[in-house]
């Protein structure tokens, strides 16, 4: 049973919004922080759209949705995060950005507040080093889309206390997720396999070996994946994939982790995936995945 009552999420992008849905849906008071009010407004609209689909599909009643949305609030004032028992950061895969955020959170949050990072590739120990509270920082890597996927990779840093890790583990289970414990290694479990796999799929497109739809169809049909690698990359965003792949490559120097040149050309063209309406596929609207 979790002792945590209020969950903070720092960052209102695709991952942050999904994590906030998971927490609020499980009955936790949830506060989303972002420096951008338009980003918070967009996330709220997408969240309401997600739950409207849940009602349409009879997964939830409107009364349940009203309660969930009542659990969920947002703020551009970082001081509000002092109310949280844990703050899960879901910002860019950049160590400096994460350190700056955690230092600001450390200045306003009580000493007992836990900090968790949704990083998929960076070292939890290195992230914790900029937090001001190394022993209370945990890696909690939710899988995209967080509101539909159950897996959370839980990683302690070298100085993370057993108490802090257990509290975060209990929270994860209370939110209805499935935690797995990993060591603080580049890519943890999932991205250790996924990043090189996705890069190989991009290289197939780059080499003209097959169209994106054919590659995805082969992977889904032959391997039983729910999404093909190129569909997933469009959902993640090519800009995000670049950051993650570069971080993993820097930590491993494994050639397959190095991002293909096609990714940088697509980013230069503004073809980032679902959020811009075009990536490996074309899209209309930017509705949140699932429902």
The catalytic site residues sit at 120, 141, 153, 191
Q: Residue 118: helix, strand or coil by DSSP?
A: coil
Residues 240 and 93 sit within 8 Å (Cβ to Cβ):
yes
On whether the CB atoms of residues 50 and 291 are closer than 8 A, the answer is: yes
Cβ neighbours for 206, distance < 8 A, ≥ 6 positions apart: 260, 261, 262
The CA radius of gyration of the chain, in Å to the nearest whole number, is 19
**Measured between alpha carbons, how far is 141 from 136 in angstroms, rounded to an integer?**
16
Place of tokens 């890696």: 139
Tracing tokens 């569909």 back to the chain, one arrives at: 231
């Amino acid at each position: 049973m979790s002792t945590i009552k209020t969950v903070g999420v720092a960052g209102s992008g695709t991952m942050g919004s999904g994590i906030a849905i998971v927490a609020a849906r499980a009955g936790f008071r949830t506060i989303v922080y972002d420096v951008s009010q338009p980003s918070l407004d967009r996330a709220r609209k997408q969240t309401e759209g997600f739950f409207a689909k849940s009602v349409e599909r009879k997964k939830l009643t409107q009364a349940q949705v009203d309660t969930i949305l009542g659990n969920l609030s947002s703020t551009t004032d970082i001081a509000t995060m002092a109310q949280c028992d844990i703050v899960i950061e879901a910002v860019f895969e950049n160590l400096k950005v994460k350190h700056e955020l955690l230092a600001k959170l450390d200045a306003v949050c009580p000493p007992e507040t836990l900090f968790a990072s949704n990083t998929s590739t960076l070292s939890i120990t290195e992230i914790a080093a900029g937090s001001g509270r190394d022993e209370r920082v945990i890696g909690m890597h939710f899988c995209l889309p967080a509101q539909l996927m159950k897996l959370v990779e839980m990683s302690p840093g070298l100085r993370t206390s057993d108490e802090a890790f257990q509290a975060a583990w209990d929270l994860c289970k209370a939110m209805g997720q499935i935690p797995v414990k990993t060591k603080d290694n580049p890519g943890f479990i999932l991205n250790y396999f996924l990043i090189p796999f996705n890069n190989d799929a991009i290289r197939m497109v780059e080499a003209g070996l097959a169209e994106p739809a054919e590659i995805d169809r082969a992977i889904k049909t032959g391997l039983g994946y729910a999404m093909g690698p190129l569909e997933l990359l469009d959902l993640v965003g090519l800009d995000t994939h670049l950051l993650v792949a570069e971080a993993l490559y820097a930590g491993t120097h494994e050639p397959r982790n190095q991002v293909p040149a096609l990714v940088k050309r697509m980013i230069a063209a503004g073809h980032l995936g679902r959020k811009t309406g075009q990536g490996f596929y074309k899209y209309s609207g930017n509705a949140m995945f699932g429902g």
